[in-house]
Structure 1
Amino acid sequence: MKKALISLSVAFALTGLAGCNDSANAVSTTTTTTAANTQQAMTLSFADFSQAFIDDLWQLSPTWAMYNGKHVNDGYLEVPNQASRDKTLAFVAKHKAQLATFDQKTLTPNELIDYKLLENLVNNFEWDINTFKSWQWDPSSYNVAGGFAQIINEDFAPLDERLTSVVARLEHVPAYYQAARDNIANPTLPHTQLAIQQNQGAFSVLSDELAAKVSASGLTAEQKQLFDMRFSAAKAAITQHIEWLTALEATLQTEGARDFRIGEALYEQKFALDIQAGMTAKQLFEKAVADKNRVQAEMAKITADIWSKHIATPKPEDDKLAIRQLIDVLSANHVKRENFVDDVRQQIPELVKFVNDKKLITLDPNKPLVVRETPEYMRGFAGASISAPGPYEKSSNTYYNVTPLDGMSDESAESYLREYNHWILQVLNIHEAIPGHYTQLVYSNESPSLVKSLFGNGAMVEGWAVYTERMMLEEGYGNFEPEMWLMYYKWNLRVIANTILDYSIQVKGMGEEEAIALMENEAFQQRAEAEGKWRRATLSQVQLTSYYSGYREIYDFREELKTEQGEAFDLKQFHETFLSYGSAPVKYIRQLMK
């Protein structure tokens, strides 16, 4: 799952959160207001402070609020200029000062976790703007499509009301893209190319279909006229921006571009802020290398047991070669490319039935899960992902985005389908849907702490999804079929390899061919999957480690409790208690449950 599609704290801070109005003097007034802010915080309970923090954040970024189901000012599009960044830094200074007034020793365990999450959040805001500066070198962070799609596609209010917000939001699209071009300096080539692709996808949102909806709506004649004018200006602004990016891409290709690798110092800093795992990135990398060897040994055992069942020739002495050959034979069992999305859709009820029959966790049948083709403006990063509602709109649909294979060549499509074969496609659906991301995010929305629900930890979210894959097989999903376990281990090995790959590329300077070799020869991935992962690793940093980090912490914690509690251990109770704390870092959930 691509975490930018879930409303997590990491989704916020690429271009600055604040709007452009009345913010030019935000930083200059910080010093004079700090004392007042501190005095105000001293009179607040921590619960009051947390709510005030959230309310201030939604004023700072109405779009982020909207993604979480809180409709503060849907018609306002934040312009990512210097005034916006200054206003965000003023927000950081104010709330850092207020946090400092609380004695952490007097907070309850739940409050202390919320404290740590809010502290980490403002530190992340500040670090991204002042140190990481992705707003300069990542052109793909600028795209207006998501906010418009949220308003148009989510049925949270009458259509005319939502279209009124669309008309208002269109006003600042030209200024938004002008600010983007003013910001972009020394960008990377991969992020520039992704920006072109995804902004072209914006026309699938700002489309003739939208214009027809407005024309047929109950908006006034003046509103419709204003829409026509702003709609044309917005499309022209996007077109101009794509043309500018295309010219920039050509220059970067001929003259050279910034390296997409961020290096060890920035990587460790980002890892600490994003993962919050209680270990360094280097330590996690070393742990992953050891785990890779263990999983490969398990795969070698299974291969030896079932080789003659599938292949008539003698098994090679080289274990990795034998594993690869057996996986290649088994991978021919896959769906047809034209049925890929439909097959995913058909598997969901089967997973629901298994979870309910085994009483693994309570599923809420009133929280819709909709399998859909990935919208065009979201394509190009991950083949499958979850778009979940926030805690303010708990009853809204959760979308399981599955990218169809229409745009692939026959060769690429076959490679992709062999990767997501009969067995692995089921594991993918466990991960993304039942009882993985979809289930965890439903529970997160029910957490009594808005802080934990809104500002969740990506490693916990991804780790839960990875944990459920193994848990389901341990409970008998797939009838303990060795082929299923072999393919699961292959999938799990990819999670482990993600950590090795990301660290090796971003810190150690690993190149494309070496990375492809690691994924194909050590993790037994298909060429298309390996090439896609290389692309993803050039576009993100640290996020690929979240899967393995969270998984190991959750699984190890569960096994520890099983040893301590013996026959009294209840798996369903463990799952529901664990998820009741929202999307908090695993190390903090562990503290609460212990």
Structure 2
Amino acid sequence: MTPENPTAAENFTKIADDAVTSYCAAYPDEATFLGEHSHDDRLGDPSTAAQERRQAELTTLITSLDELPAGEFDTADAVDRDILRTAAQSELHGLAEIDEAGWNPMRHNPGQALYGLLSREFAPLPERLANLAGRLRGVPDYLEAARARLGDMPRIHVETAIGQLEGTLALIESEVPAALAQAGSDLDLSEEISRAATAVRTHQDWLRGELPNAHRSARLGAELFARKLELILATPWQPDKLLEQAYRDLDRIEAELTELVGRTTGSANVDRDAIAAEYARLAADVPTSDTILQLCREALAETTEFVRQHELVTLLDDPVDVIEMPEIDRGVAVAYCVAVGALETAPLATQFAVSPTPKDWSEERVRSFYREYNNHMLHNLTIHEAMPGHVEQLSHAHRYSGSNPVRGVFGSGSFIEGWATYAEELMAARGYRSDISTAAAAAVRMQQLKMQLRAVLNTIMDISFHAGDLDERGAMELMTVRGYQEEGEAAGKWRRVQLTSTQLCTYFVGYVEVRELVTDLRRAHPDWSDRQLHDEILDYGSPPVRYLRQLLGLPQAG
């Protein structure tokens, strides 16, 4: 076709490229992590005017996508069009209906935008520091605009935001000067550092002053939650049906635990007390803040060799840095994965971040944390976060090259988490650590089932709180009794239930959808090996499972 008469596919490619460009401009901190560095010297705009401009952009985008003659696309472009449209609808719903920027002060923290320039070596440090100077200069105006934007807020969000800003202050006043010293730069950022730190303290003081009037409910409400779930997870699951499925899986996992503990202990009468006692026994084998990093490195080597020997998936052997989690991120989970951004061109390693406990924690809280994240759990977490979970899946996704960047930029969180949760089950089913001993394999299987329980309970609590009336007592009982969680872990999750919505469903929704996908694909190709089957699933980037089924030529589930 001539430029004057482009095809539908060519029109879509331009629309998709423009959509990614406008997304990066609207969210410069996200752009940095994605690998688009044109906006590294500035922060986002939290103002109402900026939000209204973004809503207009999204409305125009959705109209443009709807006007395309979908019948003229190949399957890949048709899927990407639907992914982009769903992502635009989701963002628009978040801005126009939920309006979180107007009531959640946690959304207005410049810390991650600053941290993104310090933590990834995509450019020489002096160049990143020059851009950091621009972001530091923007902090006072950014926080002033945030205060003008915020109205009635939930108390728990205000309290959490105040605490998170302490991490931002530490980054500004300690990590930035350390980076300047490391770079040996002549760049003088003393004034920018001082003004940014003062602005953060001013914002904290303002938030403290708002605490007596922070009466907004943290519950999203049934209607908003259902629509957000549908769009964020790109799933047909409705909350009531998902809740029913979660309770069925809760019973299934408890039955599997009962059988495993009976086999492990030789007991014919296994109840919840017996299961709790077995978890307590395993929880006595704990790491320390001095050993946890090395234990995860060793677990990564062991899981990688197991995947290689059992040919579970094609190993890409991309570089992985096992790093100590920065202080600002500690206290929520023991590990996370930071993949190379979809738009990044620099040869970066994937980061597998592992957390010692925060320095200000009490001795009892530290003990509780490490009982939950004991040595056996570290193996299961390494499977989830690294091999063959996030690290390997995202390495495969990074190699996907379509006609547009949509699938990389708007990857599905539920597919990503679902694959990693499925990977835990896969490794346990294939006998991970059985070469060490039957007891070692059973210990990892116990932790894998505990993590499945956690995913199920996360979903039950997410729905029951935001679309129901779940209270703290009910949530704590679910986690500590039916989930066998440590008190400290459960208390932290109760806070997370109140602070987020739908994200806690991603693990279970993704797992159920990936599990059904694997079953159907194996049924369609009974002669395929594990590696063939898993490579096929991972070869299309990170689309929602409903669209992956379309790409694989499988009917929709249910």
Tell whether the 8 Å contact from 1:118 to 1:451 is kept in structure 2 after alignment.
yes
Tell whether the 8 Å contact from 1:391 to 1:446 is kept in structure 2 after alignment.
no
CA positional deviation for 1:276? 1.5
Q: Residues 380 and 273 (structure 1 numbering): CA distance in 2 closer, same or farther, change over 3 Å?
A: farther
- Separation in 1 of the partners of 2:369 and 2:24? 40
CA positional deviation for 1:461? 0.7
Q: Report the count of equivalent residues.
A: 540
CA positional deviation for 1:318? 6.4
SS of 2:151's equivalent in the other structure is coil
SS of 1:582's equivalent in the other structure is coil
Match of 1:244 in 2: 206
Deviations 1:246-304, CA, capped at 9 Å, x for gaps: 2323x14xxx6211111211110110111112221221111010111111111112222
Q: Single out whichever of 287-296 and 341-350 deviates more from structure 2.
A: 341-350
- Separation in 1 of the partners of 2:426 and 2:46? 43
Match of 1:139 in 2: 105
Tell whether the 8 Å contact from 1:187 to 1:258 is kept in structure 2 after alignment.
yes
Counterpart code for 2:471: G
> Which sections of structure 2, spanning at least 5 residues, go unmatched?
554-558
Alignment of 1:46-195 (within 5 A): 46-195=12-161
> Which sections of structure 1, spanning at least 5 residues, go unmatched?
1-38, 309-313
CA positional deviation for 1:231? 2.2
Counterpart code for 1:183: R
Match of 2:431 in 1: 476
- Separation in 2 of the partners of 1:265 and 1:219? 53
CA positional deviation for 1:412? 2.2
Counterpart code for 1:204: A
Matched, 1:504 2:504: no
- Separation in 2 of the partners of 1:50 and 1:523? 43
- Separation in 2 of the partners of 1:482 and 1:211? 48
Match of 2:532 in 1: 573
- The TM-score with structure 1 as length reference comes to 0.86
CA positional deviation for 1:548? 0.8
CA positional deviation for 1:390? 0.6
Alignment of 1:219-230 (within 5 A): 224=188, 227-230=189-192
Tell whether the 8 Å contact from 2:118 to 2:179 is kept in structure 1 after alignment.
no
Candidates 445, 453, 456, aligned match of 1:493 = 453
Counterpart code for 1:197: G
CA positional deviation for 1:64? 2.2
Tell whether the 8 Å contact from 2:379 to 2:444 is kept in structure 1 after alignment.
no
- Separation in 2 of the partners of 1:388 and 1:278? 28
SS of 1:205's equivalent in the other structure is helix
SS of 2:67's equivalent in the other structure is coil
- Separation in 1 of the partners of 2:21 and 2:289? 46
Q: Residues 261 and 111 (structure 1 numbering): CA distance in 2 closer, same or farther, change over 3 Å?
A: same
Matched, 1:260 2:218: yes
Identity %: 29
* RMSD over aligned Cα atoms: 2.3
Q: Residues 376 and 482 (structure 1 numbering): CA distance in 2 closer, same or farther, change over 3 Å?
A: closer
Candidates 286, 305, 308, aligned match of 1:334 = 286
Q: Residues 328 and 163 (structure 1 numbering): CA distance in 2 closer, same or farther, change over 3 Å?
A: closer
CA positional deviation for 1:174? 0.5
Match of 2:259 in 1: 301
Tell whether the 8 Å contact from 1:199 to 1:377 is kept in structure 2 after alignment.
no
SS of 2:152's equivalent in the other structure is coil
Matched, 1:582 2:554: no
- Separation in 1 of the partners of 2:545 and 2:304? 25
Tell whether the 8 Å contact from 1:197 to 1:380 is kept in structure 2 after alignment.
no
Q: Residues 482 and 464 (structure 1 numbering): CA distance in 2 closer, same or farther, change over 3 Å?
A: same
Deviations 1:72-120, CA, capped at 9 Å, x for gaps: 1211222211221122112112212211221222221111111111111
Matched, 1:545 2:505: yes
Counterpart code for 2:426: M
Candidates 310, 316, 321, aligned match of 1:370 = 321
Q: Residues 153 and 327 (structure 1 numbering): CA distance in 2 closer, same or farther, change over 3 Å?
A: closer
Candidates 514, 518, 531, aligned match of 2:474 = 514
